[in-house]
Structure 1
Amino acid sequence: MDHILVRYGDIGTKSASVRGRMVKILRQRIEDRLEYEDEEYDSVTDIPGRLIVKNARPEASEAVAELPGVASASPVKELESEIEALKNAAEDVEIGESFGIDTNRSGSHDFSSMDVNREVGTFVQDFSGAEVDLDDPETWIKFDVRDEKAFMYTETFEGPSGMPVGAADPLAALISGGIDSPVAAYEVMKRGSDITPVYFYNRPIAAEDHLMRFKASVEKLKRFHPSKDWEAYIVDMKEVNEELMDIGRGRMLLHRYIMFGIAEKIAEQENLQGIVTGEALSQKSSQTSSNMRNTSSATDFPIHRPLLTRGKAEITEKARELGTFEEASIDSACRTMAPESPATRMSNGDFEKLKRRIDVDELVEKALENTRKEEI
């Protein structure tokens, strides 16, 4: 196999002009990722419905397949789009005890996909003696036939599909050192949004090892957009937390309300178009529907919660897949700041009364004064 065939899904549903823009972005992301992995290749070119990485190692297909916007990637051999050429190529494949032929054809030809499957299948059976099995063969030989060229492959690496990073509005992603928020950040990247990570350093409750967990999680996310200069906002919450510790019931709601107020200011400064959190409905006391209504009122910016209806097991499985679960599992000296009896359902009126016990605007400003922008 000498090239990598890259397929995209959601991009193909867009209008011609939007599709062209997104394909261009995806091509750049593929080049970025290959350079990030120190992979050698000649070029990344596009043909209708596909991108081709010319003269790349087959092993690089796995890295390419990870990218948002990629539906799947396969190491391929480029052929002439003639049945005799497909037969000759199939002869070079090591065939197991059973095999299957599968063809996807696009364009104008004097043969159909079924013609390829039948003729190449008969040819392979004759020279190999293997049995045909179209359910679970030991060897798949697949062809992607385009107008003038065809591609043969035997393995496919599935991708996340979606949109390439940078194709949609940029967002502020609130990322902690835990399991949920890096997964939420990834999910919006998969829909095309570039992210600016924001970390709330909950001193004096959290120690520096918790900050290290955050940075380790962001390192894992960088591979989906490795060419950009990754910078994060680190917000020192020491003064906010010291003020809030005198409040019992409702403390975590105020804490989150202030976080959203700070995030709004950062989003305005960076010209971001929304805020992303790892909140899941009813997972914590601050994440009931009524409490999320209270905390969301801190900002007019849209708050995106891509994990809203997911269970913890599903989120954890995705974190393992992304490689961020290991970072979240690093021992941390952080102690919870939640009160013994947290407010699971606080009315809007009660929350408004609670807010009057502190000067929210002043605490937001103090936190912003103690915020630094740091290269990750």
Structure 2
Amino acid sequence: MPAAGTPLPWDRGNGPCVMAPPHLRGWAEEAAAFLSRRGMDGITAFATSGSSGSPPKAILFTRRALDICARGALEHLHAESGDWCCPLPLWHVGGAMIYLRAALAGTAVHTLRGKWCPQAYADLMRSSGARWSSLVPTQVVDLVRLGLRAPSTAGCIIVGGGALDAETGRKARTLGWPIVQSYGMTEAGSQLATAFPGDSFHTDRLSLLPHWEVQTDKGGLLRFQGEGKLFGRLLTQTHGGFLLERVAPQEWWGTRDLVRLEGRLLTFLRRADRLVKVLGNWWIRMPSRTFCAAASRRLSWRQFHIRAPEWNWSPAVLPLPLWSRPAASGMRRPQAPSASAPSWKRPSPSRSWESWTETGCAPS
């Protein structure tokens, strides 16, 4: 259904707006109350983490900053006209920014209802005539796997939340899906750099959006500055309560991403720590020999590892989610939290704790 002029959640004027997935609803209400008590009723926050079992945090924005991010994306893609199709949840920054871009451009949003279904998405793109959309890599993989062809009206589909492998990208282009790789993070209101629709598919040398300035520190880690960046962070303390961390307007925000900069072109290289995002979840990477030794001695539940020759940072990956990060004494099976634990420590009702540990996958 098209949603032209639909009020955005942060336009309702009823205090701070904390965007969070359903399993963090209680936490989001507590976070909103905390922000309201500090006179921050105009703040919009996006929850991050939480599904991994680590304490969730919220990335805070002013409405003006989000508008700058949305306008920057519209300018970069020349997307001032044409409807959008949204297959992403509104509580995620990628989904929310689709609605904001459309609102600023005065166009409509056609929302994919219910669970992700590649056929339903292709049908909605065709029936709505939407020109713009956003997907995550696994959704593109689904379209390619089923051989679904894009409608001729599709103009540009932004791929975010991780890098899409080049082969899948080329196959998607062959099927008519005009996908472009982007690089970004919640702290940047979605995108920092995005390829142009007219180029062949590539994941390196992405063009910076016009509202960002970037640099690297001595270690090659990315830092960025601009009026669209986060206002602050709301951290959940392990003993309960919140900690508000403000970010000064003139402050450069540092990341843990190693990048290569060539003028206003950005190439993501890898994370500086031992974590890597695979299929939307953070994993710990380890050499194959270490993995095999650990698995034979310590792991009592079914695990697997992924070989990815195209990834130049490691010969193998140990798919161990953050909530089961190995302690210094060795890897042990995580214990299911009690029903009295905070909401962010409990699994979503739709997926049992056992199903997470048996597959080695945290919920997305």
Which interval holds the TM-score relative to the shorter structure? Answer: under 0.3
